[in-house]
């Protein structure tokens, strides 16, 4: 394996990428949702399940939306999927009208318990009656889906990822706790989860979000200067009405000790450390570094920041991008990063890469010892986060890529030629300006992929592979 070394990395002049983006937000056709429902039912047969009970709320609606095509906004919701026949959707007061947008046939039920506190609760049936109408009865085997995968351990055996009051109703209706089983793996298991592999139509939707995110971050990077506040920068990070997968994060100075904080009115000062990110469905872009023009403006003890942190970090990121391919195992990717950028020395804790989509972090096949092969249709985030390298600050170049085999590439070229053209422009930019040459099946989702300017006030220079 040809791994990039730190001594191959230089800090040199690099042009900004183009701000390539689709003109309109793509819409996913109903036929895609109908195909998904068929796949879900095939998996239900394999798991010997009579029903699926999908629960969703504002933060955790991916499985619900995967089939319905809409989310419950600020309430809760549930979708009941039988092996045959119509599905049943359970909604609160304010989201009830959303059932008209359903992308699959679903009988709507009003359930005010899913509404906000103290809202009217009259003239509606209870969940027991809804479950009966959906066909769930004594002895029915129901798979329960929330949003997360539990670690395989004795402590988590039997866990169900939905509120207890719903578990109680399901137990009473099926007559036995053993009739209920956690079924989140059907959707998000990193090896066989249906949502981990995206259709061309879903990719087009996600690419729109990833493009918008990277463009807004490029605007914010160009705007950054002494005296500007985090809130002023955040004003540039408009989601254009699209759902965000995490809040806007911006921390400068002492606040970077907790990097997940929201922007404040604190003004940027020369010498500050800065960490900020923005994300929509389809991708997150994050950057971290120093608010200076050159190393001489840093404290003396960290003036070798480029050599000690950024060059080995960037080399690891380049190796991640250049060695990524369909079929490589998550464990091989983990070992690659460990070789280039040892965990013990640089203090990274989380998985060095993960799947993304409707959620910023869907799941991850990339961990030590993982034998899970990466697949065509997966969207992955380059997400290596050095967290403990005193006295130096961290670095970050998080963005996303798509793995696409020849069949998927042909489909993208046919259905979304403009998106294909954007992806090729990004590849060309990365090769010519940054020196990163990725395998043919690796397609950039965002315009800022590979661009790392560690000194934020220097807008001409960036890290580059020789």
d(CA 415, CA 408): 10
Q: What are the structural domains of the chain? A: 6-25+199-465 (3.90.230.10), 30-189 (3.40.350.10)
Q: Report the run of H or E that residue 13 belongs to, with start and end.
A: strand 9-13
Helices assigned H by DSSP within 5-94: 30-46, 62-68
3-state secondary structure of 87: strand
Query: Which pLDDT score is estimated for 164?
Result: 95
The C-alpha torsion from 62 through 64 and 67 to 72, rounded to 10°, is -100
Q: The tokens 């991008």 sit on which residue?
A: 321
**Distance from the Cα of residue 242 to its chain's centroid:** 14
State the Rg of the chain over Cα. Answer: 24
Distance CA 91, CA 109 (A): 6
Residue 299 per-residue DSSP state = -
Question: CA–CA separation, 35 vs 104, rounded Å?
Answer: 10
Rounded to an integer, what distance in angstroms lies between the CA atom of residue 108 and that of residue 423? 41
Rounded CA separation 7/10 (Å): 8
pLDDT of residue 91: 97
Task: Give the integer Cα–Cα distance in Å for 400 and 443.
Answer: 9
> What is the reported pLDDT for 256?
77
In angstroms, the CA 105 to CA 115 distance is 23
pLDDT value, residue 123: 66
User: Which tokens in the block code for residue 326?
Assistant: 């369909």
The closest of 345, 370, 341, 340 to 355, measured between CA atoms, is 370
Cα–Cα distance measured from residue 161 to residue 434, given in angstroms and rounded to the nearest whole number: 44
**What is the Cα–Cα distance from 281 to 189, expressed in whole angstroms?**
19
Asked whether 80 and 170 are in contact (CB, 8 A), the reply is: no
Q: How far apart are CA 302 and CA 287, in angstroms?
A: 19
Q: What is the pLDDT along the chain (466 residues), one digit of tens a residue?
A: 789 999 999 999 999 999 999 999 999 999 999 999 999 999 999 999 999 999 999 999 999 999 999 999 989 999 999 999 999 999 999 999 999 999 999 999 999 999 999 999 876 779 999 999 999 999 999 999 999 999 887 788 889 999 999 999 999 999 999 999 999 999 999 999 999 999 999 999 999 999 999 999 999 999 999 999 999 999 999 999 999 999 999 999 887 777 788 999 999 999 999 999 999 999 999 999 999 999 999 999 999 999 999 999 999 999 999 999 999 999 999 999 999 999 999 999 999 999 999 999 999 999 999 999 999 999 999 999 998 899 999 999 999 999 999 999 999 999 999 999 999 999 999 999 999 999 999 999 999 999 999 999 999 999 999 9
């Amino acid at each position: 394996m040809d791994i990039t070394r730190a001594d191959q990395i230089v800090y040199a002049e690099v042009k900004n990428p183009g701000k390539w983006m689709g003109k309109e937000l793509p819409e996913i056709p109903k036929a895609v949702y109908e195909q998904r429902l068929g796949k879900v039912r095939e998996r239900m047969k394999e798991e010997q399940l009579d029903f699926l009970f999908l629960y969703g709320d504002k933060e955790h609606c991916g499985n619900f939306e995967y089939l319905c095509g809409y989310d419950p906004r600020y309430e809760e919701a549930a979708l009941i999927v039988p092996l045959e026949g119509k599905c049943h959707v359970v909604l609160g007061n304010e989201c009830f009208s959303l059932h008209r947008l359903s992308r699959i046939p679903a009988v709507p039920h009003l359930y005010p318990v899913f509404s906000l506190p103290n809202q009217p609760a009259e003239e509606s049936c209870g969940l027991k009656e809804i479950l009966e109408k959906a066909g769930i009865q004594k002895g029915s085997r129901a798979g329960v889906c929330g949003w997360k995968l539990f670690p395989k351990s004795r402590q988590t055996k039997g866990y169900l990822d939905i509120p207890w009051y719903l578990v109680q109703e399901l137990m009473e209706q099926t007559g036995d706790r053993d009739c209920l089983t956690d079924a989140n793996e059907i959707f998000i298991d990193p090896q066989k989860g249906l949502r981990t592999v995206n259709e061309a139509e879903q990719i087009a939707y996600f690419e729109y979000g990833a493009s918008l995110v990277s463009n807004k971050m490029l605007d914010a990077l160009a705007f950054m200067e002494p005296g500007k506040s985090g809130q002023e920068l955040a004003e540039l990070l408009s989601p254009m009405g699209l759902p965000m997968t995490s809040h806007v994060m911006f921390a400068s100075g002492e606040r970077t000790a907790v990097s997940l904080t929201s922007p404040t009115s604190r003004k940027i000062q020369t010498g500050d450390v800065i960490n900020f990110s923005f994300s929509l469905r389809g991708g997150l872009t994050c950057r971290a570094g120093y608010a200076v023009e050159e190393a001489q403006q840093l404290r003396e003890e960290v003036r070798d920041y480029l050599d000690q942190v950024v060059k080995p970090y960037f080399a690891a990121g380049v190796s991640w991008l250049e060695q990524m391919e369909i079929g490589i195992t998550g464990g091989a990717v983990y070992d690659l990063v460990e070789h280039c950028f040892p965990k013990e020395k640089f203090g990274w804790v989380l998985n060095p890469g993960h799947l993304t989509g409707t959620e910023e972090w869907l799941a991850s096949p990339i961990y030590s010892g993982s034998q899970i092969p990466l697949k065509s249709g997966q969207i992955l985030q380059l997400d290596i986060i050095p967290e403990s390298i005193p006295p130096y600050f961290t670095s970050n170049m998080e963005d996303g890529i798509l793995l696409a085999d020849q069949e998927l590439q042909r489909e993208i070229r046919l259905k979304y030629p403009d998106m294909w053209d954007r992806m090729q422009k990004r590849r060309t930019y990365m090769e010519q300006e940054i020196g990163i040459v990725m395998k043919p099946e690796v397609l950039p989702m965002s315009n800022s992929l590979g661009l790392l300017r560690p000194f934020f006030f220097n807008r001409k220079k960036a890290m580059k592979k020789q």
